[in-house]
Amino acid sequence: MQHSSNSSDFVPEELEECCISRPDPVFSAKPHSTAISPDRSTVFAFDREGRPLSWFRDGRVFKRSLASEVFARERVAGRRQYWRLSEADAIEQFEQMARSLEAFPVDASNTDWVARLDRIRSWTPERLLAERARFDATYRPITILPPDQYLSIVLQASFGCSWNRCTFCNFYQNRPFGVREPDEFRKHCEDVKELLGEGHSLRRRVFLADGNALTLSNRRLLRFAELARSAFPGRGLFGFVDVFTGEKKSTEDWNELRLAGLRRVYVGVETGSDALLEWLNKPGGSEDAREFVERLKTAGLHVSLIFMVGIGGKRFAAEHTRQTLDLAGRLALDPQDVVYLSPFRMVDGSTYAERAAQTGAEPLDDDATETQYSELRDGIRRALPGTRVARYDIREFIY
């Protein structure tokens, strides 16, 4: 079992595959991780610090955050279902894991095996739950990441979102935008390194958070990049930016950031419909997005664009699909880039919900949302042959 850099977690599908057609039990030691499968229905994956990352048991995938929250996933009637476990249920999962590991046979002649298993067993349920306090002392809330960054090292250069007025976004409400000073950021890097311990070896990327940290001036970003490289050498830098803030930087600015280690920029385009963007209170337009992507590509950067599925409901459905596909056909993307399609999740009581009710923007049901997803996926693949198109379900987010 390996870590995939494109995966949204520690390859749970491969955890499932480990349970099929193989002897019992299995102990797999990789340079940066350990996998243990005590029987054909159970597989556990751990970082080098010995903390559980994810596990597969009886058809369900479980994932543990750095704060020891546990999220679960399973397929029901062909569709994925997600939920967060209560603390009591999380403890039960940790206890079941401990019992399974206690009975796991040990090859005393394999010193690496013995050392790894001892370290893993040292993480009692009580010790795992105590990680919440350590996490909260290191990070302010991390509300969202791109799917391929869930196993990155997140460094919070800034907090919140500099715009924070899009009607559909609830990630940064009641959180004023702020930026760390260099000395504070240096200390933050040290704290993150201490929290991760040897577990940092599995995390081969650095994500500069929060919402649109790359909107900061290059003077600040270059200093942050220097500090990040010093704390976690050999890792590329990644981050979010919006079209309307990112386009304020020149091609030369973006090239300067690339030379400082920036590898990929994640851009929430949302839709190719200018009318829908205005309705969502998100500045910029489709032509701005096209020009911005071209600028990033000219600077030598990879891009990941995010379009939403079901946004605007029935009122904008046809226009959203048509004009998003039109925009996709005008983008200068290549096989190193990614287009994410993110099903919209409306929050009751949100500004978006209020506007939708006032203007009669009835939401799409699940079947209509999946239909639009398929239309966008297939159309973008035709427009951008070779460019990866993938689902971005925010319910899977975990850090």
Q: What digits encode the pLDDT tens for the residues 155-183?
A: 999 998 888 888 888 888 778 889 999 99
Write down the pLDDT at residue 169. 85
235 within 8 A of 206, measured Cβ to Cβ: yes
> What is the C-alpha separation between 66 and 68, in angstroms, rounded?
5
Q: Tell me how far CA of residue 372 lies from CA of 91, 115, 122, 201, in angstroms.
A: 39, 51, 48, 39
Write down the pLDDT at residue 24. 67
Reported as a pLDDT band with limits 50, 70 and 90, residue 253 is: very high
What's at 274, amino acid-wise?
D
Sequence-distant (6+) residues with CB within 8 A of 199 are 47, 48, 49, 51
Whether pLDDT at 20 is above 80? no
Whether pLDDT at 209 is above 90? yes
pTM score, whole prediction: 0.92
Closest CA to 265 of 242, 244, 239, 291: 239
Q: Tell me how far CA of residue 328 lies from CA of 106, 354, 383, in angstroms.
A: 54, 30, 6
Summarised one tens digit per residue, pLDDT across range 308-348 is 999 999 999 999 999 999 999 999 999 999 999 999 998 88
| Domain 139-396 belongs in CATH node 3.20.20.70 | yes
243 within 8 A of 288, measured Cβ to Cβ: yes
Q: Where are the alpha helices (DSSP H) in the chain?
A: 12-18, 87-102, 111-121, 125-129, 131-138, 182-196, 218-231, 243-246, 251-259, 274-279, 286-298, 313-328, 351-359, 366-383
Rg of the chain in Å (alpha carbons)? 22
In the chain, which residues fall in CATH 3.20.20.70? Answer: 139-396
Tell me the average pLDDT of the chain: 91
The helix (run of H) or strand (run of E) holding residue 82 is strand 79-84
Packing angle, helices 286-298 and 251-259, rounded to 10: 50
Write down the pLDDT at residue 324. 98
Write down the pLDDT at residue 164. 84
Q: Residue range 342-360: average pLDDT?
A: 89
Write down the pLDDT at residue 103. 85
The two most distant CA atoms of the chain are separated, in Å, by: 71
Summarised one tens digit per residue, pLDDT across range 110-136 is 999 999 999 999 999 999 999 999 999
Q: Tell me how far CA of residue 77 lies from CA of 74, 80, 122, in angstroms.
A: 10, 8, 39
Q: What tokens were used for 159? A: 């907090």
Q: What tokens were used for 25? A: 């039990």
Write down the pLDDT at residue 23. 57
Packing angle, helices 366-383 and 313-328, rounded to 10: 10
175 within 8 A of 160, measured Cβ to Cβ: yes
User: Is 88 exposed, middle or buried (CB count within 10 Å of its CB: 0-12, 13-18, 19+)?
Assistant: exposed
What's at 59, amino acid-wise?
G
**Residue holding tokens 């894991």?**
97
What dihedral angle (degrees, nearest 10) is formed by the CA atoms of 209, 83, 61, 236? -10
User: Is 371 exposed, middle or buried (CB count within 10 Å of its CB: 0-12, 13-18, 19+)?
Assistant: middle
> What is the C-alpha separation between 200 and 151, in angstroms, rounded?
9
